């Protein structure tokens, strides 16, 4: 059984409830069937509901059949400025399209 460990750095631009930019550092563990388990840390800078600052998010997910599904958790204590007290989770499902929705369950 052959497996492969890879890394990737992804830059994103957010519009909507989150407005700003981020950089995510991923580690991906590929299995022989082409699926991959991934983890990552994303650093977002911008606004959440008109409050400004930055936060870090822990990513965990699975890539299979051309689609990445993941859950994110705000890393406790990572918020700055007006986002200092933010907490919560989010999830996403992304295919080959450039844009996808992030469903947030954050609170300030």
How far apart, in whole angstroms, are the C-alpha atoms of residue 104 and residue 88? 8
Rg (CA), the chain: 14
Please give the pLDDT value at position 1: 56
CATH number at residue 41: 2.40.350.10
Domain count, the chain: 1
Please give the pLDDT value at position 99: 79
How far apart, in whole angstroms, are the C-alpha atoms of residue 21 and residue 31? 31
Average pLDDT over residues 30-42: 94
More confident residue, 100 or 31: 31
> What b-and-e string marks burial along 43-82, b requiring 16 or more CB atoms within 10 Å of the CB?
ebbbbbeeeebbbbbbbebebeeeebebebebeeebbeee
- What's the mean pLDDT when you consider all of the chain? 94
User: How are beta strands 51-64 and 67-74 bridged, if at all?
Assistant: antiparallel
Please give the pLDDT value at position 79: 97
pLDDT tens-digit map of 60-107: 999 999 999 999 999 999 999 999 999 999 999 988 777 788 999 999
Please give the pLDDT value at position 2: 67
Cα end-to-end distance, the chain, whole Å: 46
Please give the pLDDT value at position 8: 94
Q: Which residues span the domain enclosing 43?
A: 4-107
* pTM metric for this prediction: 0.91
């Amino acid at each position: 059984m052959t497996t492969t460990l890879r890394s990737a750095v992804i830059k994103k631009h957010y519009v909507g409830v989150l407005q700003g930019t981020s950089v995510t550092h991923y580690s991906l563990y590929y299995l022989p069937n082409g699926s991959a388990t991934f983890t990552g840390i994303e650093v977002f800078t911008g606004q959440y509901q008109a409050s400004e600052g930055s936060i870090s998010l822990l990513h965990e997910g699975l890539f299979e059949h051309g689609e990445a599904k993941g859950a994110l958790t705000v890393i406790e204590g990572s918020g700055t400025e007006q986002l200092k007290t933010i907490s919560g989770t989010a999830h996403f499902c992304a295919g080959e399209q450039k844009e996808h929705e992030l469903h947030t369950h954050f609170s300030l």
